[in-house]
Structure 1
Amino acid sequence: MGAEGGGRRRAPRMGVFVGCGAVLLAGCASMPDSGDLRGVESTPRQDAQVRVFAMPPRENAGPAEIVQGFLEALTSDDPQYETARKYLTGGASRRWRPDQSTTVLSDGPNTVPQHNRSREANDDYSYTLTGSRFAVVDAQHAYTPASGSYSRTVHLTLEKKTDQWRIDSLPQGVVMGRSDFQRNYVSVNKYYYASNVPAAEGGQLSTVADPVYVRSKVDAVTSTVRALLKGPTRWLDPAATSSFPSGTALGKGVTSLSPDDQNKLTVPLNDKADRVGRTQCSRMAAQLLFTLQDLTPTGVNQVELERSDGRKLCELNEGRAEIIASHGTAQPPEYEYFVDGKQRLVRMPSGSGSHQFEPVPGALGEGDRKLRAAAVSRDEDTAAGVSFDGQYLYVTSLVAGAPLGDAVLTSQGVSEDDRLTTPSWDGAEDLWVADRDPRNSRLVMLEKGAGQPIEVRTPDLDGRVEAVRVAADGERIALIVKKDGKTSLQIGRVDRESGADGRPAVSILQLHSVTPQLEEVTAMSWAGDSRLVVVGRESGGVQQMRYVQVDGSVPAGNAPPSLTGVKQIAASEDERLPLVAYSEDGIVRLSAGAQWQKVVKTGMAPVYPG
């Protein structure tokens, strides 16, 4: 996301901390004691190593300057908002809870005076903060897109003892413009263990990412560890579990954590963790390692946990963590797949840059059944194919000579567009697909790709499912949903319970749109543990490609280069692997740092395993 433009920029009343020296930005803007104020415009982006500190109130500053200075202080890198509190009365400072929430506006907040000029002598001023809501980060650090207008009141009083204007009433939390939020906050994936997905044969657990936002230059490591210890965010909590005992927190007196010069982080814990065994402790340490691996410039590659008495509880490095739990980059796929011009399922070596492809072994590559779409299991041993007319779903082994067998699912949709979507495999090797038949529109799951299809309950679904992609963790699902001619990308939580007949009862709960700004979503794919790549169009706009987080935020970094006429997109949870797309140029591939390259003119339906 880029910083917003528009409007004149003031010289900010802030200090900039660079390396070991402090430099004050020159040109403090003079502000009137009364009258309307300009919006607090978002400050320009600073270098990642530059820390910005606010200036305290000027002696005899008027109400307008106090409000302006306070709002600017909210966007600084002041750890506990000490400078911002200097703009408040003592009582207001004690009542104010800045960590309760962060409200993000499209632009900086506008300030509108509400006082009556005839009452100025009564030492009474109020300003209304207004703007367009863009997002909210709650006390759990969870991000939620927002819309509508924002309006909150700030009240000032002239303190009798000091004869200085101070804010004595204000909304809880903090408020800032979007570009200030981007400069001040960073998205971090906390990692927990999937509650509803069984461990692999070797005992390896499945991890699930829980993205949160923390202040990037205000001890982000410590903030992230504290957030991890408090458990999953409310949306994910029913589907994720933590190995840390309930009530576990940092040890008494621990205020800051940082890795040593060997990239090892020592984390002292309170007495709630004193009695955990070695296996549980290793799982706790693995959660920390996965969570912190990309937060520091050099990463954290080893974690040591300490008891409340300072004795070592356990120690874990990256290699052992990958044995304990699966992770997005642990096992990159061997191949990329697509349907070629002969409607066969073919494959190319993954990440090699090769344009050479071959039919997959088995009936979907060697047989005469023509396909329109396919999905390959995450172990790359099994594939599911949708017939060219969209009516039949087949599942077969990727072994030479393996027969096709009977269809495992049949759609009764009259037209091809009202039949089966591209299927998707989850981490437990269950197969998901949607039937778009208007008379019986449904989402179904087949355990291990076989047996009687299980109709998935979707109580929050408002529209018809046009595409399905299940996350590797099996706990989250991405759906393209169509209603009234518009399509949106929605994320839901997978809930599994034991049914009365012994078969699982499966539901998708708390579906929510993560692309509220897009009127049309054409294609999507998981592109990381909590990130998707999306092809869509804003109202009145042209087709574009972008990344989006499962919480609806746009991750830092550049969007993929534009590509004309994209119909389908494929990405891997291993973010190092290239994007593959089906466009009007055929099958094309985008590797890191390169431009789109044509693989083959005739082909469609590209997929990675999953």
Structure 2
Amino acid sequence: MLAALAALVLLAGCATVPAESAPTAIDDNRLGQVSPDVPQPAKDLDPLSVVRDFVHASAQSVAQNEAARLYLDDAARASWNPTRTITIIEDIFGTNQATGPEQSADPNERVVYLRGFHVGRLDPDGAFIASKDPYEMPMRVRKQADGQWRIVDPPNNIVVAESDFNANFVRVPLYFFVPESNALVPDLRYVQAKPQAGLPGRVVALLLRGPSDGLNGAVRNPLGGSAALDTNVAPAADGAVEVPLTGVGGLSENDRRLIAAQVVKSLQPVVSSRIRLRSDGSPLVPAQLDWRPSDLPSYDAPSAPSSELPGLVTVDGRIRSLGNGAPVPGPAGTGAYDVVSAAQSIDGKRLAVVERTEGGMRLRVGDYGRDAPVVDPSAGTFTRPSWRPALSTTGTSGELWTVADGTKVVRVQPNPEGRWLPQAVNANEIVALGPITALRLSRDGARVALIAGEQLVVASVVREADSVTLRFPRILQGGDLSGVLDVDWASQDTLVAATNSATPVVRVPIDGLRMDKFNSSNLTPPVRAITAAPSRSIVVADAGGMWTASDVGEVWRPHQHTQGPGAEPFYPG
């Protein structure tokens, strides 16, 4: 009798379909479980649970999304051909039954709404595009002959929750080159983590397709459009990973070496063994068949300031050293200029100064430690200047960027006589977002970070014969990150920003997928200025002085040469 009663209770529970389910966070225990046997759905799921579990299973993209297809009826399972774009939503999402005329009158068919908020999307090229819009998708669920509910009209795009995405995809920077230079530029992509054996092949396949849309026109690709794989990327008998290329036979040895750098650097996060590079069966570079990252020459020297340059700080109208607190040589350090902000070139040889005047501000550019001639015209305001790196390790920075009056992005270059002249940069897409209050060129020169309308924005720098344009602007962490006051590049693919919010300092990758919050201990908001550079501690300035930290979670320590409430620190660049 007890067994019969238990069965009756179970049947009664299964017969009642809930009207909605409360939003719940993902259970961490289910993440990353990509089984080669593809587990079957649990029995007797209600329509809401079918849709929810379908979303979780969709992150397992192996075997033609077989795990997700198990939640579809037979017809949909056979016909479903989702696009290669993946929609990523927040971990907390809801499933709700439709009401009124939207709901089916057939008791064996239910319309379920999947509701949440976008995190962004993964484009077919593996690039993440951030978005914070609401997400809503209706799905029709029908009871099958065996009593199980299954989806009959799945969405055109794969839809996954953020934590499931993070557990099943791996971030890999692909590498291309700065135009007119051999400096490498990272292009962040995401590839399926499983099966692990095919991971190197998936990375190389993306690399051969070229830069993402966001960097198109901003970088140089020695692989060009003719390179392809001759056979699959696979491990050799001696443990090396073979990358058999074809279509590059007519390239110079210099271009072949650049291709070797592209492939080896791009595979570095997923391959620990030697990489064997072939071109139509022969070594890609005649003198070397196998490669490790340590075999590559440095391709980023122009984009990283020397350890001998400690950085500078503007305070009380003068510029001082961050290393010892002493005034810099020349008029900028003696008080001859009323310095508002400044920038030292990456090589340390040049200095740009924004000077306060009776009518507003003006820009000066010259050699470090010497008088800096005025650059016409003046303006009401200029943002802190930012230097483009030199085109070679032995060259000198020859281009400076700033924003005049919040709307005019200008770059300043010397003419043959040595006079610095401004040229307009096409930044129409950025200006439409709001007044520009900060601009920082990346230290490879391929991107620019800006604050427009108090939002953090990244755009690519596209250079043509007679013009420069900022293209593909992307707002990072829109909706979650506002009140941004200053920004700098911690590395080629990571920004740090100061805000006037309760979280005064944050770190954001250039694709905006996540945001890491720094410890706020010891800081007195607002944090007005911030500076960072590769292999350097982050330095911020708040109402009390300057503070330094190396990573998220560290307590901010007083800078050894704190200069008071008006200080604005800056590293070369």
Q: TM-score range by the shorter chain?
A: 0.7 to 0.9
Secondary structure, counterpart of 1:595 in structure 2? coil
Q: Which residue in the other structure is 2:371 paired with? A: 404
Secondary structure, counterpart of 2:76 in structure 1? helix
In 1: Cα distance, 2:220 partner to 2:78 partner: 35
Deviations 1:276-314 (A, max 9, x none): 443322211211233233x24xx64753223455x4334
Spell out the pairing of 1:28-107 with structure 2 (5 A cutoff): 34-38=17-21, 41-45=24-28, 51-53=33-35, 55-58=39-42, 63-76=47-60, 80-89=64-73, 91-97=75-81, 100-107=84-91
In 2: Cα distance, 1:167 partner to 1:411 partner: 64
Amino acid in the other structure paired with 1:139: P
Please say if 1:133 is aligned against 2:118: yes
Q: CA RMSD in A?
A: 3.4
Please say if 1:231 is aligned against 2:210: yes
Spell out the pairing of 1:544-559 with structure 2 (5 A cutoff): 544-554=504-514, 559=518
In 2: Cα distance, 1:395 partner to 1:251 partner: 52
- State the shift of 1:469 in Å: 0.6
In 1: Cα distance, 2:119 partner to 2:193 partner: 20
Spell out the pairing of 1:36-435 with structure 2 (5 A cutoff): 36-38=19-21, 41-45=24-28, 51-53=33-35, 55-58=39-42, 63-76=47-60, 80-89=64-73, 91-97=75-81, 100-114=84-98, 118-120=105-107, 124-157=109-142, 165-195=149-179, 198-199=180-181, 205-216=182-193, 218-219=195-196, 220-246=199-225, 248-254=227-233, 265-269=241-245, 271-273=246-248, 275-293=250-268, 295-296=269-270, 300=272, 302-307=274-279, 309=281, 311-314=282-285, 315-323=290-298, 325-326=299-300, 332-339=306-313, 341=315, 343-349=317-323, 356-365=324-333, 368-389=336-357, 391-398=361-368, 403-413=370-380, 419-428=381-390, 429=397, 430-435=399-404
Amino acid in the other structure paired with 1:507: T
Task: Check whether the contact 2:346–2:572 (CA below 8 A) recurs between aligned residues.
Answer: yes
Task: Check whether the contact 2:363–2:374 (CA below 8 A) recurs between aligned residues.
Answer: yes
Task: Check whether the contact 2:25–2:93 (CA below 8 A) recurs between aligned residues.
Answer: no
CA shift in 2, pair 1:157/1:318, >3 Å = same
- State the shift of 1:159 in Å: 5.8
Amino acid in the other structure paired with 1:57: P
- State the shift of 1:58 in Å: 4.4
- State the shift of 1:516 in Å: 1.5
Secondary structure, counterpart of 2:213 in structure 1? coil
Amino acid in the other structure paired with 1:435: A
Please say if 1:498 is aligned against 2:465: yes
Q: Which residue in the other structure is 1:589 paired with? A: 548
- State the shift of 1:444 in Å: 1.3
Q: TM-score, normalised by structure 2?
A: 0.81
Deviations 1:331-388 (A, max 9, x none): 6443232335554322245xxxxxx333334443356334221101111111112225
What 5-or-longer segments of structure 2 have no aligned partner?
1-12, 391-396
In 2: Cα distance, 1:387 partner to 1:301 partner: 54
Task: Check whether the contact 1:105–1:133 (CA below 8 A) recurs between aligned residues.
Answer: yes
Amino acid in the other structure paired with 2:375: V
CA shift in 2, pair 1:100/1:409, >3 Å = same
Task: Check whether the contact 1:245–1:272 (CA below 8 A) recurs between aligned residues.
Answer: no
Task: Check whether the contact 1:459–1:509 (CA below 8 A) recurs between aligned residues.
Answer: no
Q: Which residue in the other structure is 1:445 paired with? A: 411
In 2: Cα distance, 1:580 partner to 1:253 partner: 47
In 2: Cα distance, 1:52 partner to 1:206 partner: 38
Amino acid in the other structure paired with 2:428: P
In 1: Cα distance, 2:487 partner to 2:211 partner: 26
Task: Check whether the contact 2:484–2:498 (CA below 8 A) recurs between aligned residues.
Answer: yes
Amino acid in the other structure paired with 2:220: T
- State the shift of 1:185 in Å: 3.5
- State the shift of 1:559 in Å: 3.4
Task: Check whether the contact 1:42–1:179 (CA below 8 A) recurs between aligned residues.
Answer: no
Task: Check whether the contact 1:535–1:545 (CA below 8 A) recurs between aligned residues.
Answer: yes
In 2: Cα distance, 1:601 partner to 1:578 partner: 14
CA shift in 2, pair 1:69/1:453, >3 Å = closer
CA shift in 2, pair 1:342/1:166, >3 Å = closer
- State the shift of 1:445 in Å: 0.8
CA shift in 2, pair 1:447/1:387, >3 Å = same
In 1: Cα distance, 2:46 partner to 2:313 partner: 69
Amino acid in the other structure paired with 2:131: A
Amino acid in the other structure paired with 1:434: V
- State the shift of 1:533 in Å: 0.5
Please say if 1:507 is aligned against 2:469: yes
In 2: Cα distance, 1:31 partner to 1:176 partner: 27
CA shift in 2, pair 1:560/1:284, >3 Å = farther
In 2: Cα distance, 1:328 partner to 1:559 partner: 29
Secondary structure, counterpart of 2:106 in structure 1? helix
Task: Give the alignment partner of residue 571 of structure 1, picking from 532, 535, 541.
Answer: 532
CA shift in 2, pair 1:339/1:307, >3 Å = closer
Identity rate, percent: 25
CA shift in 2, pair 1:98/1:272, >3 Å = farther
In 2: Cα distance, 1:258 partner to 1:594 partner: 44
Deviations 1:442-493 (A, max 9, x none): 22111159522112222211232211111122221122223xxxx2222222
In 1: Cα distance, 2:24 partner to 2:160 partner: 9
Task: Check whether the contact 1:100–1:173 (CA below 8 A) recurs between aligned residues.
Answer: yes
Amino acid in the other structure paired with 1:509: R
Question: What number of residue pairs does the alignment pair up?
Answer: 529
In 2: Cα distance, 1:338 partner to 1:31 partner: 69
